[in-house]
Each structure stands twice: as C-alpha cells, then as structure tokens.
Amino acid sequence: MSTIEGASIEMTKVLGITGGIATGKSTVVAFFKKAGYPIVDGDVIAREIVAKGQPALAAIVETFGPEIVLTTGELDRKKLGQLIFSSSQKRELLNETLKPFLRKEILRQIEEAKKKAASLIIVDIPLLYEAHYEAIMDQVAVVYVPEKIQKERLMARNHLTEEEAQQRIASQWPIETKKERADIVFDNQGTREETEQQVKKWLEKQAEKK
C-alpha cells in the first residue's frame, strides 16, 4: 500500500507459481482461482499461441519443418512431444523459438489484470525459473513434493513407465533446486485439504499486512 497526497493506493502483487511436472501446481492455482484472483496461465497461453494460423506456429514450422503440422494445418502435438522429450537440444530449440511469443502474451495479460485493479495476480508458469520469469514477479511460490512422489504420481497420471516419467522430470530443473530458490513453498505431499489450508493461511497473512 502506498500513499500519494493522502490518498491510499492499492498495489498489485504479482505472484508467480511454479513447480515440477506432477507436483500439483494446477491444484494450488485452482485454489487461488476459487478465492477469486485472476490467473495468467502459461500452459493455456502456450497452446493458444501455436494455434492454426498464429505466428508462433509458423516459427515452429520454420524451425522443425512442415512435417510438424497435420494436414489440417494444426500442430502435430504428438510428434512434437516425441521430438522434444527425446532430445534436450530440440527441447531447448523449441523453447527458444516460442520464448518471445510466450513472454509477450504473458506480459500483456499481466498488464490487463493490473488495469482491473486486482490486488493479487497469479501467474502460472511451469518453466518459470528455466525461462527466467522470476525477474517480473514480486514473489515466486513453488508447489513441492519430493522427486520420488513426483515420479510415482506422473507414472500413475500419464500411464508412463518409470523411464518415461524420469525423462520428463529430467526435462525441467530439479524440484529441490526450485524449492531452494522459492520465496514461498506450498508442500503438496498431503491431502488437497491440507494444501488448500496452506494457501488460505498465506492469503490471510497477506491481508494482515495491508
């Protein structure tokens, strides 16, 4: 809260939320959404920017070739997934190709939410640290479970072998590294209710600071 000539101005807080694959980030984001806070969803934006006819899709075709597109003109997500999970170089190439399009839209949506005078904006980005988005956040929260639980949940959720699950986990920074860098940690090893209570307690603390 800041004051200009006696008038109090509510400052918008931008909270980045990240984690690892299958750590429960979407669950935590859903709790903030339920509480009424605007969500800037990096996954949704990433899907939208590669829709048929979008400039980001044209950039992918230029990088990976026309075979990455279905006969309908849409991205062949299965083929792209096979490429990037089997090669760290191709994964990095894809990230670099999409980075400017993704960042531009994330920043635009944050600014749109600020115009609506939201006190807190949640920015959900799976690769927040990997893509260096922490610089545009006021704080970063990491949704955490140990890698062993992460792997078990991923195998069950996506019907993967242990090797396939480990391959996907290895495509991101280790969850322990993210936990160390976080301003806030939401531990998701327990029940949904226990995790939701952590979110509620954090929101209550923010309200007390005002």
3-state helix, strand, coil in the chain (%, to 5): 55, 15, 30
Please give the pLDDT value at position 210.
67
Inter-residue contact 13 to 117 (CB < 8 Å): no
Please give the pLDDT value at position 2.
36
CA 107 vs. chain centroid, Å, equals 14
Please give the pLDDT value at position 103.
96
Please give the pLDDT value at position 127.
92
Amino acid at 138: D
CA 44 vs. chain centroid, Å, equals 9
- Average pLDDT by consecutive 10-residue portion of the chain (210 residues)? 37 95 96 96 95 96 94 93 84 92 96 91 95 96 97 96 92 95 97 97 88
Please give the pLDDT value at position 54.
96
Inter-residue contact 121 to 14 (CB < 8 Å): yes
Please give the pLDDT value at position 10.
57
Please give the pLDDT value at position 7.
32
190 token code pair: 């327990």
Task: Please write the tens of the pLDDT for every residue from 176-187.
Answer: 999 999 999 999
Across 24-176, the runs of DSSP E, i.e. the strands, are 39-41, 120-124, 139-144
